[in-house]
Amino acid sequence: MVASNAERLGNSLRAARELKGKSLKAVAEPAEVSTAYLLKLEKGQVESPSPHILHRLAGELGIDYLDLMRKAGYIVSDNGAPSGGALTHALSGEPLTEDEELALATYLKMYRNGQVR
């Protein structure tokens, strides 16, 4: 089964939040969204989130805004400008599957918590 845009976006938001070790409230408040709305986003229940909200969430989570926009289903042209860090560029030859993205996020969280070396 292919995940919808809303589900892909939700999975990415949840993975980024968990990777940062932040609660829903700790992300929602500074991003000026309700915790209920952020939870709906993470569950894939919002089909067309506002680009303004995605921008604030990207800033709060330290993730790429254009990537969130693409996952939400918006058509985004970055005119070939590089985005993301070294890992993004290293993996840019082939897009990650949703499972690969979640596995990498899980591994990175474990690594940062000292569970993997």
Q: What is the CATH number of the domain that holds 50?
A: 1.10.260.40
Position 88 pLDDT exceeds 50: yes
Domain range for 24: 5-112
Q: Look at residue 107 in the predicted model and tell me its pLDDT.
A: 85
Percent of the chain topping pLDDT 70: 82
Report pLDDT digits (tens) over 31-62: 999 999 999 999 999 999 999 999 999 999 99
Q: Look at residue 86 in the predicted model and tell me its pLDDT.
A: 53
Is residue 33 a part of any domain in this protein? yes
Is residue 77 a part of any domain in this protein? yes
Residue 82 — very low, low, confident or very high, per pLDDT cuts 50/70/90? very low
CA 53 to chain centre: 13
Q: Look at residue 43 in the predicted model and tell me its pLDDT.
A: 96
Assigned token pair, 67: 């990537």
Is residue 37 a part of any domain in this protein? yes
Q: Look at residue 84 in the predicted model and tell me its pLDDT.
A: 55
Position 7 pLDDT exceeds 60: yes
Q: Look at residue 25 in the predicted model and tell me its pLDDT.
A: 97
Interatomic CA distance for residues 54 and 50, integer angstroms? 6
Is residue 99 a part of any domain in this protein? yes
Domain count, the chain: 1
Is residue 117 a part of any domain in this protein? no
